[in-house]
Amino acid sequence: MQLVIICLFPGLVAQTYFFGWGTIIQLCFSIIISILLEIFVILLRKRHPKTALRDNSVLVTAWILAISIPPLSPWWIVFIGLIFAVVIAKHLYGGIGENLFNPAMIAYVILLVSFPIQMTSWIEAGKLKIDPISFIDSFFLIFSGFNTDGLSLQQLRVGVDGLTMATPLDAFRTSLHIGNTINEILEQLKLDPLFTSSWKLINLTYLLSGLLLLKLRVISWHIPISFLISLIIISELFMIITPDKTASSMFHLLSGATMLGAFFIATDPVSASTTVKGRIIFGAFIGIMTFIIRSFGGFPDSIAFSVLLANMCVPLLDHYTQPRTYGQ
């Protein structure tokens, strides 16, 4: 868990560079609340908190949730999310090693379904570079809802045209639904190069960090590689079938939380499959579902939903992919 946290640092730096101080503030607040919740539940279970906190699993959960939400989300978003992640998704099932679902993704899905406005209130990187938000303003926006000038987050998000897109995936879906062609959408995205390049660079950072995890043998290659290969195959297949409605595989790979999901979320050792064949199927299933939900579902990014659906299939995968016992 410590190595996972270390490998998450470069992505944190990249997100802070493009989206401001809110990412750091959310992370610090998330870590504090997660530790307090962990201690509270551990004491209720009549165990020693120091022993339980030593595995650092709650820090990874808090970290992933903090970098998955918009940096300037109100403080209660993190608080509610961590209650679901730590208390319900983790300890209600028996604690570390017993949870069926990825705790951070349970929290993310609950928050996204319950508070869609707050969970999609990203500010474009290009706009932040022109008019950056200071540390103090970020702090006040998170904990009071207004900056030092009295402006709310929604007022900061809305530009001259009255509309801002949360992410390239959101921009792509919105433009496609109003009848724009793929070429028109790509031309629109090129008008704001920092809008798409910020997400590309963040994904590339998590890709490099994920490769470091593989080199250190913290994770195995089966889940992330099968995830990415299946996402490439299905996106290229649909580009052949419906070229006017499907984004390229490179667009899917370098948008949203693809690389974070492939190397840091789907590879959760507790909620993922435990067999080699099961991990390959598990990762491929997540890649396919990510494309399907992004293309036909109600949410532009779908890593959390795909991972949770795959978590549901783990008992079945482990049952039918167990290696044959020697002698049988």
Residue 248: predicted pLDDT: 83
- When the pLDDT of each residue in the chain is averaged and rounded to a whole number, the result is 87
Return the higher-pLDDT residue of 35 and 177: 35
Angle at which helix 2-19 crosses helix 193-215, to 10 degrees, equals 170
The four Cα atoms 257, 260, 261, 262 give a dihedral, to 10 degrees, of: 120
Structure tokens at 157: 């998000």
Residue 252: predicted pLDDT: 87
Task: Flag whether pLDDT at 165 surpasses 50.
Answer: no
Supply the pTM of this predicted model: 0.88
Mean local confidence (pLDDT), 126-149:
84
Mean local confidence (pLDDT), 265-283:
94
The percentage of the chain sitting over the pLDDT mark of 70, rounded to a whole number, equals 87
Mean local confidence (pLDDT), 210-224:
95
Residue 323: predicted pLDDT: 83
Task: Flag whether pLDDT at 194 surpasses 80.
Answer: no
Lowest mean pLDDT among 6-20, 83-97, 157-171: 157-171
Residue 126: predicted pLDDT: 61
Mean local confidence (pLDDT), 254-276:
93
- Cα separation values, 97 from 78, 109, 319, Å: 23, 21, 18
Task: Flag whether pLDDT at 216 surpasses 70.
Answer: yes
Residue 193: predicted pLDDT: 56
- pLDDT, tens digit, 9 for 90 and up, residues 35-71: 999 999 999 988 888 877 888 899 999 999 999 999 9
Residue 288: predicted pLDDT: 96
